[in-house]
Amino acid sequence: MNRWALGGDLGVARIGYGAMKLTGWPRGDRPSRETALAILRRAVELGVNHIDTSHYYARDGVAANELIREALSPYPADLVIVTKVGALVEGSDVALPAADMTGLTPDGLRRGVEANLRSLGVDRLDVVNLRMGDRSRSQTPLAPPLTTLLALREEGLIRHLGVSNVTADEFAQARAIAPIACVQNLYNLSKRDDDPLVDACADAGIAYVPYFPVGGFQPIKAGHLDAIAARHGVTVPQVALAWLLARSPNILAIPGTGSLAHLEENIAAGTLKLSEEDLAQLG
């Protein structure tokens, strides 16, 4: 697969895997434990070496980090696990009022980092994304929590820092505080508000990692998608992923799935080459 140097020194395939759907968090179905473990192992067999997760991806006793550890530890030398911390400390915190969310405090951030270290069974986290936004955006500016994470990085607990769910102004603020390896925001064929930020990251040599790359809880709708998929003999999500890879070389896709068949399709999208006509039709 095509690769990118995440943080300048971690070579990752441009199609990775997002682990959230393995738990059914925050809502929805999830695969059996046996299927979840098989998906993780098959992803690595197929060349995936970038897995996105978080300690708060957990519901009803099923936690993404623990599945990753059971399936893949001892970890392959080139495997990059990217996690995140933010307003949520536990998965159930998603139901709390914004005023009661404590994850962006110094104590909450340390607890989140330590929970990731413990549940993944590692001494240092490859990349930690500071996730802003959610319902606490108006209450917490970016600088204090990012400064806390920078201190944890200096302690040796984190290798690289990223930011998630940020505006262009917050991205600029973040870069003034710490080296930033990646930005993880909502972006796909149907949601392109971040076009300028994608380009700004590319210009700076920073990875842009779109979450919900094939629509998430909302299926992607874009003109000509069905026709292009039929012309190539592929699925609409495969076209959506191929479009992201064609959009900019710094984009790293992390589609999640609870299906082995869909996993194979997602990874195969890395070899799908859209024509200039296809790209023009997609706009």
CA distance 234 to 166: 33
Instruction: Quote the number of domains for the chain.
Output: 1
- Report pLDDT for 133: 77
**Displacement of CA 187 from its chain's centroid (Å):** 11
**Does 71 fall in a domain?**
yes
**Does 178 fall in a domain?**
yes
**Does 231 fall in a domain?**
no
**Does 37 fall in a domain?**
yes
Task: Report whether 182 contacts 207 (CB < 8 A).
Answer: yes
**Does 14 fall in a domain?**
yes
CA distance 103 to 91: 11
Other CB atoms within 10 Å distance of the CB of residue 61: 7
Other CB atoms within 10 Å distance of the CB of residue 78: 12
Please provide residue 43's backbone torsions phi and psi, each rounded to the nearest 5 degrees: -60, -45
Strand partners, 70: none
Q: One-letter amino acid identity for 209?
A: V
Close Cβ partners of 27 (under 8 Å, ≥ 6 residues apart): none
pTM tops 0.85: yes
**Does 187 fall in a domain?**
yes
- Report pLDDT for 215: 86
Strand partners, 36: none
Kindly report, residue by residue over 133-171, the tens digit of the pLDDT: 766 555 689 999 999 999 999 999 999 999 999 999 999
Along the 283 residues of the chain, how does pLDDT read in single tens digits?
689 999 999 999 999 999 999 999 999 999 999 999 999 999 999 999 999 999 999 999 999 999 999 999 999 999 999 999 999 999 999 988 888 889 999 999 999 999 999 999 999 999 999 999 766 555 689 999 999 999 999 999 999 999 999 999 999 999 999 999 999 999 999 999 999 999 999 999 999 999 999 987 777 876 689 999 999 999 999 999 999 999 999 999 999 999 999 999 999 999 999 999 999 999 8
User: Where does residue 156 rank: exposed (0-12), middle (13-18), buried (19+ CB within 10 A)?
Assistant: exposed
Q: Which residues are the active-site residues? A: 57
Nearest to residue 108, comparing CAs of 74, 62, 148? 148
Kindly report, residue by residue over 55-72, the tens digit of the pLDDT: 999 999 999 999 999 999
> What CATH number has the domain bearing residue 142?
3.20.20.100
- Report pLDDT for 98: 83
CA distance 66 to 254: 19
Please provide residue 81's backbone torsions phi and psi, each rounded to the nearest 5 degrees: -105, 120
**Does 215 fall in a domain?**
yes
| Residue-number span of the structural domain to which 258 is assigned | 3-222+249-262
**Does 280 fall in a domain?**
no
- Report pLDDT for 138: 55
